Structure 1
C-alpha cells in the first residue's frame, strides 16, 4: 500500500512526453448522457472477457469513472482500471487484449507507467497500472465517495455539464472540471484522515 502522501498527491504527467502510441485520436465531441443502468452489466461483461484473456496476469480489475456511480450522468464510455505485475511488459497483456479488439493508444511512463487501451464497441477505456498504484486507489476512493455523498455527486455532475461548452477534446474537457475534482478529493482525503 502506498503512503498517504503518494495517494493524496496530484500526479500530473510530464507535459513534454509524447503519450500517443499511434498519434492523437480524431477530435471527439463530448456528450453527457443520463445514467444508464446497463453500464454495470456492460462492465461485468468486459471485465469477464479481460479476466478470461489474461488469466493470472490480472492482479486486480475495477469499474471506475462516472459510469461506475449509480445516478451520475456520464460519457457513454466504460472506464476500467486493470492492475498487472508490470505495465511496461506490454507483451504480457497487450496481444491478448488486442485479440478482444482493444487498441493500445496511450503510453505514459511519467504517470505511474500508465497504459490505456481503447475498445471501439462497446466504447471502453482500459487503464493499465501496476500493483498498489496510487492512481487506482484514488479513482476507487473517488468512486466510492460519490456513491455515498449525493451533494458531491451533484456538484461533480454540474462541473461536467459546465465543462462541455468549451469545446476541444476530451483532455480539454477533463481540464475544465479539474478544480471541482480536486476539491472533492480534498474533502474525501480529509474525511479518511489522510490529510
Structure 2
C-alpha cells in the first residue's frame, strides 16, 4: 500500500495515551489453550483490514508462550513498511473495530473495545519487534526462565498498580536478564 516514491514524514515526537493512565484491573490467569486461536482470529482480522498491505503479524507476549501464566490480554505485533504512513494501516485497523490507545514515536497501539487484544504496530526492522520475538522464543524453549518470569509476574500482580504501564516497567529487570541469556544461548 505504501507508495515508495512518497517522501517519508517525520514521526510523532510525543507520547499520546488516549484516555490517560488506566489502573491494572486484571490478574494473572493460568495458560489458556484458547489464546493461540484468539490470536489466529485477530491475525486474520488484521490481514483482512490491511488487505494488500505488506505487513508481518506475530503473536507476542506471555499469551504466546504455552504453559506461562498471563494477563488474559492477547498481544499481537504488526510490522508495517512506514510507521509514519498511518493512512496505510491505522484507518483499516480502526475500521475493523480496534480503538487507538497509544501514539508515540515508532509505535502505535490499538486494542479491542473489550481490551482483551492489544495490537502493537511498529515499522519493519524496528528493534522492538526483534526483542519481542527473542523473549517469546526463548521462553517457549527454556522452562527455567519461563518459571522465573512467571514467579516475578505473580509477585508483582499482587501489588496495586495505578497504571498498567507501571506494572510492565516493574518487570523490566527480569526481562532484560532473560533476553541476555537468550542472546548468549544463540549459536
CA 108–32 in structure 1, closer or farther in 2 if over 3 Å, else same: same
In structure 2, distance between residues paired with 1:147 and 1:73: 12
Q: Which moved more, 1:19-28 or 1:142-151?
A: 19-28
User: How many aligned residue pairs are there?
Assistant: 174
Q: CA RMSD in A?
A: 1.6
Cα deviation, residue 97, structure 1: 0.9
**Partner Cα separation in structure 1 for residue 34 and residue 114 of structure 2:** 14
1:20 is displaced (CA, Å) by 2.4
Give the Å deviation of 1:62. Answer: 0.2
Matched, 1:172 2:161: no
For structure 1, the 5+ residue unaligned runs are 1-16
Q: Which residue of 2 aligns with 1:103?
A: 99
User: Are 1:92 and 2:85 an aligned pair?
Assistant: no
Q: Is this contact kept in 1: 2:21–2:164, CA < 8 A?
A: no
CA 1:171–1:104: 2 relative to 1, 3 Å: same
The normalised TM-score by structure 1 is 0.84
Contact map agreement 1:29 1:167 (CA 8 A) in 2:
no
Task: Work out the CA distance in 1 between the residues paired with 2:21 and 2:95.
Answer: 21
| 1:85–1:102 CA distance, 2 compared to 1 (3 A) | same
Deviation at 1:21, TM superposition (A): 4.4
- Taking the aligned partners of 1:22 and 1:156, their CA distance within structure 2 comes to 29
Find the partner of 2:180 among 154, 174, 186. Answer: 186
After superposing on structure 2, the runs of 4+ consecutive aligned residues of structure 1 that deviate more than 3 Å are none
Cα distance change, pair 60–179 in 1 and its aligned pair in 2 (3 A)? same
Q: Within 5 A, what are the aligned runs for 1:108-187?
A: 108-109=104-105, 113-121=106-114, 123-168=116-161, 169-187=163-181
Q: Distance in 2 between matches of 1:121 and 1:97?
A: 15
- 1:6 match: none
**Would you say the 8 A contact 1:51–1:58 is kept in 2?**
no
Normalised by the length of structure 2, the TM-score is 0.87
Give unpaired runs (5+ residues) of structure 2.
1-12
